[in-house]
Chains A and B, each alone.
Chain A
Amino acid sequence: MANAPTTPGIAPARLDPQTLAAHFADLEPPFGPHEAVVAADRCYFCYDAPCVTACPTEIDIPLFIRQIQAGQPEAAARTILDQNILGGMCARVCPTETLCEEACVREFAEGKPVEIGRLQRHATDALMARGIHPYVRAAPTGRRIAVVGAGPAGLACAHRLAMRGHDVVLMDARPRIGGLNEYGIAAYKTPDDFAQAEIDWLMKIGGIETRTGVRLGETVTLEDLRAQHDAVFLGIGLAGVNGLGVPGEDLEGVRDAIDFIAELRQAEDLARLPVGRHVVVIGGGMTAVDAAVQSKLLGAEVVTMVYRRGRARMSASQHEIDHAATAGVRIITDAQPVAVHGNGAAQEVEFAYTHDGEAGLELTGETFRLRADQVFKAIGQKLAGVPEGLTRAHGKIAVAGAGRTELEGVWAGGDCTAGGDDLTVTAVAEGRDAAEDIHAALTARAAA
C-alpha cells in the first residue's frame, strides 16, 4: 500500500519507512564529548546565576556545567538529579528558550545563550548509559503513601518519598506509567523509548510499587486511599479536554489532538498510523504545535494551524512556532472555527476572522473555509474527575504552600493544581516539594 502525501482522505504510510524514521529521530542530536566541553566552556559560572532562578527545579546550572568542563559529566548529572530526578526528560522537553536559556547572561549579551538543555542531556545521558542510580533509600519509616497519577509530578514525588524511606504505591489509570512523558510529549523529543528507560532507571531506588489501570473515582476512592495510607499525593494532570462547541464537531475525522498524539506515541509502527491529506489543527499551544508538526512529519500534504487570537498571545513559544513553520505547517491567526462541514466525515472547516473588541474577542463577519480530512482540537485540557471535598481555584485543585490541599493528609501537584506553568519541569518541582512537605509532616507527627 504505497500511499503518498496526496493520497485522498485519511491514510497510513504516506511516506516510506526510512523517511519516517528520519523524521522522528532526535530533533536535536546529542553533543559529542568535544562539543560538550566547548559548549560548557562558554558558561561564565555566574554568581547567583539568573539561569538557576529561571529553572523551576532550581538546578545548580553553573556547577553542573563546570563539572562537564572538568571532565566529569557523571558528577554533573548528580548535581542535576539532586534537584530534578527527571533531569534527562527535562533536558529534552523543557522550552529552555523561555526558561534557563532565556535568562542566561550570554543570551542577553550575544543573543546566543549557553546551551544548557543540551549540556544537561549530555550529563544525564552519560550517567544513565553507565546504568548508575546514585541514590539510596533512607532507613524504612514504615509509612505508606499513595501517589495517584504517574506523570512527572507523581514520579518525582514517589522517588523523593522512597528516598526518604517511605513506601510508595504509585497508581495510574492508564496501562503504562509516565503520564504525558509517555503519552504526550512529541515523539521526536524523546525517541528510542527514552520515557520508559528513564522510568526504569528511576525505579531502581526501590520501594515504589506501581499499579496501572487504577482510576481514582472509579476503581478506588479518595476516602479509601486516605484510610489506607499515611498520606495521599494527587498528580492526576488534566484528563479532560475542551470542546469546540460548533456544529459538525462530531463528524468523523474530528478528534482531540492529545488522543492522536497518544496514539502516535504508542504506535509500534508509524507507517501504519493513518493521517489526513489535509489536516487542520485548532489551537495555539504546545499541543497544537505538536499535533501539526507530527501530522506533517507523518506525510500530510497540507497542515494548517489556526489560532483564534494574535500570534503574540499563542502559548507556544516563538521557538516552537518557528519549528512548526520550518516543518511546513501553515499558521493562521485571528480566526475562530464556526462549523465543521462534511457528509458523515469532515471535509471542510469554516472559520470567522476575529479581532479584539470592547467585549473581548469579536467576529469580523468575514469567513473562510479550509479543506480538512482530519481536524485536531487542541484548545486546552481541563481537570476531570476531581474527588469530592477538594476546592478549586482557576479550574484546578487549590493548594497552599508545597501542594497542601484543603483535605488533611492530601497533597497535589503538577498540571492538576493552580499555579506554575503546565510544564514537565514544573510538575517535577511540585512533586518533589510536596514529597518533602509530606516527609516533614509525617516526621513531625511521629515526633509529636
Chain B
Amino acid sequence: MADLTSNFLGIPSPNPFWLASAPPTDKQYNVERAFRAGWGGVVWKTLGFDPHIVNVNGPRYGAVWGADRQLLGMNNIELITDRPLEVNLREIKAVKRDWPDRAMVVSLMVPCDEESWAAILPMVEETGADGVELNFGCPHGMSERGMGSAVGQVPEYIEMVTRWCKKHTRMPVIVKLTPNVADIRNAARAAHKGGADAVSLINTVNSITSVDLDTMAPEPAIDGKGTHGGYCGPAVKPIALNMVAEIARDPETAGLPISGIGGVTTWRDAAEFLALGAGNTQVCTAAMNYGFGIIKELTAGLSLWMDEKGYRSVDEVVGRAVPNVTDWQHLNLNYVTKARIDQEACIKCGRCYAACEDTSHQAISMSEDRVFEVIDAECVACNLCVNVCPVENCITMERLAAGSVDQRTGQTVSDRYLNWTMHPNNPMDKAAE
C-alpha cells in the first residue's frame, strides 16, 4: 500500500488533502467533522481583527450547472470569518490539542501595516497551530478595503508583508496567491523573495456566473444588485494547473513548495496537481458540494493509483510532469499526426464533419451513406474532431512514422527533433545564420 502521509513544510498529516480556507474550515464543529471523516488537515477560515466583518444577509453563492445540475463552477461573495477573533483562536487551540496528527494552518488577513501582522502572529502561535497562510487572494469585498487581492496583485506588497511575517513568527508562512493577475510568476517570485516557505494557489477567479434576465441583476443578487464574486470548482482547475506549473518550472522560484488548489474533486485532479509540482492539495468546492465524505474517494483513489504505478510515497509523484511542461517554441514540429476514425466505433453523428468542415480545415469527407473519413491531404491534426466526437477513442491521433510522406505538405516525415527556434521560417533563426 502506498504511503499517503504528507510532510509539507515539515507539517505532518496523514494524507496530502487539506481543506482550503473557506466555510468548511469555519469553526471547530466543521473541522472536527472533517477530521473524523479523514481529512489530513485544514487551513482555517481566514481570520481578521475585531470588530469582525459582516457578510451579506442574502445569497452569497452563484453557480454554473451542467444539464443534470452537476455543479461545474461556483462563485461567492463571502468575506473572511465573521466571528470574533478570540472565538476562532480558542477553537483552533482546542482542535489542534485534540487532533495533534492533523495539519492546522491558520489563514490570516489584516491591514497592510507591520504592526497588524506583528500583533496577530503571536496570537496564532499561541494556539499551537502548525503554520499560517497569508490570504492575498480574496477578490471581492476585502480588496476594496486594501486587503486580499489588492495586496496579491502588487508583487512589492506581497514581498513586504511576507517579510514582516517571517520576521514576527517562527511558524512556516504560506502565501496564498490570487489568479487575478497577468503573470502569476511575479507574485510567486515576490513571495519567494520575502522569504515565504511556500505558496498556495489559486484563490478564486473574478467572475459573474449569470444574469437574471427578468430582474436584470447579476447573480447572486442582493436586493436587485450584484457584484463580482470568486469563481471556484471544476471549472477553474485548468487555470490553477497552469499557474502551478508555471511556478514549478520557473528557475527563479525553483524548489519553492506549492500547495495546489482549484477544482480538486477526485483523486485524479489531485494527482495532476502533484505531478505538476504541488507538494499537497487543498479542497474547498468539492467538499462544499458533496460533503466531507468525498475524502474516502480521494485517499482510496490516490492510494490505488500509486500502487498501480509503483509510487511508494506522495513525494515520488510530486513534480513528475514538470520537466514535460515547456514553452511553445520548444515543441517538436517534426511530430506529425493525422486523425483516424475507427469505422467500427463510429455512430455516424457527423459532428466531426460539421466541426472540421465549418470551422477547421475541411479534412473530413462525408459519403452519401454517412461514412466519415479523414482526408490526410487536408488534416492539420488539430484535434478538434477528437474533442467533439461523442464516442471515446473513436477518433484518435496517429503519428506518421519517420520516412512516410505527409500528404498535406508533401514532405517526408523526419525523425529529427525540430522546434521553432531551429525552423527555417523563424526570422530569428535566419538572422542567426
A residues with CB within 8 A of B? 33-34, 41-42, 45, 47, 60, 62-63, 66-67, 69-72, 74-75, 78-79
Contact = CB atoms under 8 A, between A and B. Distances in A.
A228 B89 CA distance: 62
A62 B293 contact: yes
A181 to B, nearest CB: 28
B335 interface: no
Contacts of A45: 290-291, 293-294
A62 B292 CA distance: 13
B36 interface: no
B297 A66 contact: yes
B392 A67 contact: no
Given A70-B301, A72-B301, A75-B304, A63 B267 contact: no
B215 interface: no
B267 A70 contact: yes
Contact of B267 (A33, A41, A62, A72): A72
A70 B266 contact: yes
B268 interface: yes
Interface residues of B, number: 17
B66 to A, nearest CB: 9
Interface of B is mostly: helix
Nearest to A60: B296
Sorted nearest first, the 4 A-B pairs with minimum C-beta distance are A70-B266, A45-B290, A75-B304, A66-B297
A45 B290 CA distance: 6
A264 to B, nearest CB: 36
Contact of A41 (B68, B296, B297, B305): B68
8 contacts: A45-B291, A60-B296, A63-B293, A63-B297, A66-B290, A67-B300, A75-B297, A75-B301
Contacts of B68: 41-42
B310 to A, nearest CB: 16
Which one of B294, B297, B305, B392 has the greatest number of beta carbons of chain A within 10 Å? Answer: B297
Given A41-B70, A47-B291, A72-B301, 4 more contacts: A41-B68, A45-B290, A70-B266, A79-B300
A33 B266 CA distance: 18
Given A41-B68, A41-B70, A78-B300, A72 B294 contact: no
B128 to A, nearest CB: 32
B273 to A, nearest CB: 15
A86 B267 CA distance: 27
Contacts of B297: 63, 66-67, 70, 75
Contacts of B294: 45, 66
Contacts of B290: 45, 66
Contacts of B268: 70-71
Contacts of A66: 266, 290, 294, 297
A124 to B, nearest CB: 15
Contacts of A78: 300, 304
A69 B294 CA distance: 12
A264 B151 CA distance: 77
A42 B267 CA distance: 19
A96 B404 CA distance: 56
Contacts of A69: 266
B138 to A, nearest CB: 28
Nearest to B292: A47
